[in-house]
Amino acid sequence: MKFGTSGLRGLSVDLNGPAAATYATAFARYLLSSGQVQSGDRILLGRDFRASSPDISAICAGALTRAGLRVLDCATVPTPALALYGLELGAAALMITGSHIPADRNGIKFYRPDGEISKIDEDAIGVEAAALMAGSAPIDATPGSADDHSRQAEALFLARNAAVLPANALAGLKVGVYQHSTVARDLFVEVLAGYGADVVPLGRSADFIPVDTEAVSPATIDLLKAWAAEHELDAIVSADGDGDRPLVSDETGLPLRGDLLGLIAAQFTGAAVAVTPVTSNSGLEGQPDLSILRTRVGSPFVIEGMQEAVRKGETGVVGFEANGGTLTATDFTLNGTTFRALPTRDSFLPALAVLSLAARHQRPLSSLAADFALPVALSDRIENFPLETSAALMRYLRSGADNLAAFLAPIGKPDTVSDIDGLRVMLTDRSVVHFRPSGNAPEMRCYAEAKTADQAKRVLEQGLACIRAFDKQRRTG
């Protein structure tokens, strides 16, 4: 088990048992010892649709109950809905989800009563877990049960999203909802239909399908394009497994970049400051009336950046990641009502912001996206890429300018280098290539930016080819 960019992750077979009980107990002990909760306080549990999630959730329920907390079962709700309900009740929470990673993996996201945990909290939970595993007594992984609060959590989230836009704000739009196995699938249909959109549910699946909104697979894009043409859609909306990362495609089925969704959401709220990782589009700095602050990849770092901005007296602070998940650090007034700060990734706010933009301007999303004139940005990943190989590659690239230049020779000549998170290199032709190991899975990610789509595609393909060549050379000696 390992903490990554967003929560604890590992193989389902490893988490489903004593490991789940260990980390749930460790979280409870940390909350109790730090005075953030008292014995008998409520704690929430949610989960995604992975086959392993119900069992892991039940194990966590048993462990939390034995630790002295009262567990409320919120079942299969989006992570932002669980987090919002936790803030409403002043209760800590656990979300059993592997987000977008393969179905044979799973994880746990942890929330304090005041919001998502920090890296400091992760370290403290890890210390408690290590102490439990080092103890003489075996970890009790007996499953438990909990009171059902799924309707309350859903109702609060629906009410939040039903107040963002004026009545019938999406009338005239025909929107597909790619339902697959995301826990946001039914709520998206309800919210969009409530604003008057003609909603077409698509691709619902009983089996878990990992959808990475930051690197949408070619097969998924083919599906979106076919549905867009078949149903004459204005857009298609979806999310990842736990519903905190949005996917929005234009009228052709082509997904919009997640950082563009975040930018549109920031403008929709009237934010003055947006905090975003280094992997987000470099063209964000050129957008008017919005100050951009860069961080490492991962919601804890974005939240830390937002909190720092608020401490400095900034008002109107949002955050978003390259995957489109949008966070709010301050309250906003939207449609005459208070939109409460929710400092965790949310897929609904950016989706509604983008669709309302299309409805107001009565123009295709592809045309509206082009107006922002951002550099073309692409990303992809190599799956099942050993962690030790990723570490060896990054050591090689960081060990000297000659190594970096030799590695990048098929792509171009390096000009400037950023080492905030992975290596982000601007080449002499002003294109960008960025190599970064995944923080929570055996994957190597590559990001590319350029003036044209063809150039960005070339940089991305060559970047991935360079990674594969390094791996092959390392394996064959």
Catalytic residue ranges = 99
Task: Give me the helices (H) in 216-296, please.
Answer: 218-231, 258-269
* Token representation of residue 391: 């570490």
Give the type of residue at 414. P
Distance CA 103, CA 31 (A): 30
Q: With H, G, I as helix, E, B as strand and everything else as coil, classify residue 138.
A: coil
Q: Are 185 and 193 within 8 A, CB to CB? A: no
End-to-end CA, the chain: 31
Q: Of 267, 286, 287, 289, which Cα lies nearest the Cα of 353?
A: 267
DSSP letter for 386, please.
Answer: -
202 CB burial (10 A radius; 0-12, 13-18, 19+):
buried
Give 325's DSSP letter: -
DSSP state of 375: P
* CA atoms of 214 and 231, how far apart (whole Å): 25
Task: Kindly give, in sequence order, each residue whose CB lies less than 8 Å from that of residue 474, ignoring residues fewer than 6 positions away.
Answer: 389, 392
Crossing angle of the two packed helices 348-361 and 185-194, in degrees rounded to 10: 30
What residue ranges in 383-472 does DSSP mark as E strands?
414-418, 423-427, 432-437, 444-450
Contact 275, 298 (CB under 8 A): no
Which of 41, 9, 14 is CA-nearest to residue 28?
A: 41
DSSP conformation letters of 346-362: BSHHHHHHHHHHHHHHT
